[in-house]
């Protein structure tokens, strides 16, 4: 039971070739691309409106120097959102349930924000380790605590995304299995369980969108501290 439950999170392979690369390339094939026409279709217009609103809200607190990150973070938002939504469909592997992938996205971006702060304003960046007016006896302890909190940020980014998506997929798998088991024996209970499964699926759609947004939002907050 344990193997079949967690087997959905193992990376698929075909003839010994890992298919995670195809799963990562699939969102870019599905996202509509703008055309050179004066009037585009409704999907492209909706996508452009969404990206414009998202970018405007995300980069409103940042100064002009941080606006250079807009194409990167907007593209990453669309990438994560598409991956999370595709993962809710049957028989589709979700790469964002892999901690290695999420850490591979979180660590370089977090490190880039830290290096930008150290290069552009080193005094302000180092000032986060020791707030003004700290008692002398607490200086070593606060430096250690702030250093740990700084280095735990990418881990929190990756683990949050992985844990939320993994927990949702496990719940959907367990409740759907219960529906099939209860249907021949207790049809009324199975129907109520199926309604619960439908509500949980709707919740997971919201979680998939929210977690992609939270990932990018936290990166923008880290960037705001260092720009």
Please state the pTM of the whole predicted model. 0.82
Model pLDDT, residue 1: 44
Q: Please indicate, yes or no, if residue 76 is contained in any of the structural domains.
A: yes
Q: Which segments of 89-186 does DSSP mark as H helices, in order? A: 99-120, 122-127, 139-151, 153-185
Model pLDDT, residue 108: 94
* Enclosing domain of residue 196: 17-226
Q: Please indicate, yes or no, if residue 133 is contained in any of the structural domains.
A: yes
Q: Please indicate, yes or no, if residue 7 is contained in any of the structural domains.
A: no
Which positions ≥6 away from 216 have C-beta within 8 Å?
58, 73, 76, 77, 80
Low-confidence ranges of the chain (pLDDT < 50): 1-2
Q: Please indicate, yes or no, if residue 48 is contained in any of the structural domains.
A: yes
H or E stretch including 14?
strand 13-14
Count of structural domains, the chain: 1
Q: Please indicate, yes or no, if residue 9 is contained in any of the structural domains.
A: no
């Amino acid at each position: 039971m344990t193997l079949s439950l967690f087997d959905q999170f193992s990376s698929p392979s075909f003839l010994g070739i890992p298919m995670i690369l195809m799963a990562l390339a699939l969102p870019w094939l599905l996202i509509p691309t703008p055309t050179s026409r004066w009037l585009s279709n409704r999907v492209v217009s909706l996508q452009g409106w969404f990206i414009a609103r998202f970018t405007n809200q995300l980069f409103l607190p940042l100064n002009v120097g941080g606006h250079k990150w807009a194409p990167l973070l907007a593209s990453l938002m669309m990438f994560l959102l598409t991956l999370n939504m595709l993962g809710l469909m049957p028989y589709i592997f979700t790469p964002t349930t892999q901690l290695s992938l999420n850490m591979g996205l979180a660590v370089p971006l977090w490190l880039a924000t830290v290096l930008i702060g150290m290069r552009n304003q080193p005094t302000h960046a180092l000032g986060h380790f020791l707030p003004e007016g700290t008692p002398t006896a607490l200086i070593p302890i606060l430096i250690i605590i702030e250093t740990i909190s700084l280095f735990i940020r990418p881990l929190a980014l990756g683990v949050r995304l992985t844990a939320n998506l993994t927990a949702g997929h496990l719940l959907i798998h367990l409740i759907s299995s219960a529906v099939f088991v209860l249907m021949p024996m207790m049809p009324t209970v199975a129907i109520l369980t199926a309604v619960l499964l439908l509500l949980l699926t709707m919740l997971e759609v919201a979680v998939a969108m929210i977690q992609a947004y939270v990932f990018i939002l936290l990166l923008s907050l880290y960037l705001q501290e260092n720009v």
